[in-house]
């Protein structure tokens, strides 16, 4: 119970701070407070575990600074980007490639509706004539070949299907 009640009180105070104080704090103040709390936490951790750090080698002593260096670099980058965003910094924009000159409205000839209609009619009549030519050339030949064995087997519905290559093997 000795750890439960203080932890519960700290939890309730943190909720109260989050509800009432945090919405009124600007991001710059929040960043400053996070740096202060982080440095206090690192200091408290180092004082609590000083004997373990003394017993380690000299290279291991540098490992404790790695998170602080990374967080400091990240905060410097964030603060720099905030200042760059809010100080009307300009982003270099590459030059557009030159576009060819657009033709003037007087030089453009717009076809009339009747010329378009006549063009579509001509295309359709050509297609119908070629279809009739194909029909006239195929039907007489089909009637001539009606007596051949190929057409008889194709038209006869009672013929057995031929055996496949796999069945033959």
Q: Among 1-10, 11-20, 134-143, 158-167, where is mean pLDDT lowest? A: 158-167
Q: What was the pLDDT predicted at 1?
A: 61
In terms of Cβ atoms closer than 10 Å to its own Cβ (0-12, 13-18, 19+), residue 75 is: middle
Distances, alpha carbon 83 to alpha carbons 4, 28, 68, in Å: 44, 11, 22
Give SS3 for 59.
helix
Condensed to tens digits (0 to 9), the pLDDT of residues 92-148 reads 778 888 877 777 767 666 666 777 788 888 888 888 888 888 777 776 666 555 555
Are 159 and 153 a contacting pair, CB within 8 Å? yes
* Pairwise CA distance, residues 57 & 122, whole Å: 94
Are 30 and 12 a contacting pair, CB within 8 Å? no
Domain boundaries, the chain: 4-86
| Distance separating the N- and C-terminal Cα atoms of the chain | 86
DSSP string of 80-141, one letter each residue: HHHHHHHTTPPPP-PPPPPPPPPPPTTTPPPPPHHHHHHHHHHHHHHHHHHHHHHHHHHHHH
Better-scored residue on pLDDT, 86 or 152: 86
Looking at the predicted structure, is the pLDDT value of residue 90 above 80? no
Within 10 Å of residue 23's Cβ, how many Cβ atoms?
7
Q: Structure pTM?
A: 0.28
* Pairwise CA distance, residues 82 & 46, whole Å: 32
Looking at the predicted structure, is the pLDDT value of residue 51 above 90? no
Structure tokens at 106: 């007087």
């Amino acid at each position: 119970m000795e750890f439960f009640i203080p932890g519960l009180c700290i939890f309730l105070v943190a909720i109260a701070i989050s509800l009432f104080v945090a919405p009124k704090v600007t991001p710059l103040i929040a960043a400053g407070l996070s740096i202060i709390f982080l440095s206090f936490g690192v200091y408290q951790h180092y004082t609590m575990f000083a004997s373990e750090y003394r017993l380690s080698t000299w290279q291991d002593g540098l490992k404790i600074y790695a998170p602080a260096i990374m967080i400091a670099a990240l905060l410097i980058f964030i603060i720099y980007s905030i200042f760059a965003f809010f100080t009307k910094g300009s982003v270099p924009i590459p030059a557009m490639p030159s576009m060819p000159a657009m033709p003037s409205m007087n030089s453009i000839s717009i076809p009339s509706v009747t010329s378009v209609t006549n063009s579509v009619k001509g295309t359709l009549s050509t297609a119908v004539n070629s279809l009739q030519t194909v029909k006239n050339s195929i039907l007489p030949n089909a009637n001539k070949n009606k007596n051949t064995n190929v057409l008889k087997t194709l038209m006869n519905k009672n013929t057995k299907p031929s055996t496949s290559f796999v069945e033959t093997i």
